Amino acid sequence: MKSGDQRDIKPYDLEERTYEFALRTRLFLKGRKWDPVSWPDVRQLLRSSGSVAANYIEFIEGVSDDDKTYRLRISKKEARESGLWMRLISDCNEIPDETGELLDSLMQEADELVRILASIIRKRVS
């Protein structure tokens, strides 16, 4: 799938959606020149965005209910962390309008993933 194709359509399959979040984050970061102060934030964002998807897969493959809930919580935590790193990157760099729109979209997706995962966790523990 090429940039601009169906990336604007949010998949209902959460495994695919978390993968797309990690992929879109990487495509956003790729080839850009960041202020050196942001280099640690960029590395952290790479890790946390991928961890959202990886821990969601771990949830699917979980060995027990407790393990599954734990993986969901980690995935939610990593989505929230991704939003933090994006905010820091945004606030410490000059972001052109086109790039800013993509970053805003990624920040919104991070927030939506936090909300979705929190809802799933609430239903599992209640």
The CA distance from 3 to 37, in Å, is 28
Q: pTM value?
A: 0.88
Opening angle at CA 96, ends 91 and 97, nearest 5: 105
pLDDT score for 12: 66
Reported as a single tens digit per residue, the pLDDT across 85-124 is 999 999 999 998 888 999 999 999 999 999 999 999 999 9
pLDDT at 9 over 90: no
Opening angle at CA 10, ends 32 and 85, nearest 5: 40
Reported as a single tens digit per residue, the pLDDT across 22-72 is 999 999 999 898 999 999 999 999 999 999 999 999 999 999 999 999 999
pLDDT at 7 over 50: no
pLDDT score for 71: 97
Q: Which fold would CATH assign to domain 14-26+35-125?
A: de novo design (two linked rop proteins) (1.20.1440)
pLDDT at 125 over 60: yes
pLDDT at 83 over 90: yes
Q: Where are the domains of the chain?
A: 14-26+35-125
- The residue length of the chain stands at 126
Q: Which helix (H) or strand (E) holds 44?
A: helix 39-60
pLDDT score for 8: 46
Q: Which helix (H) or strand (E) holds 72?
A: helix 65-92
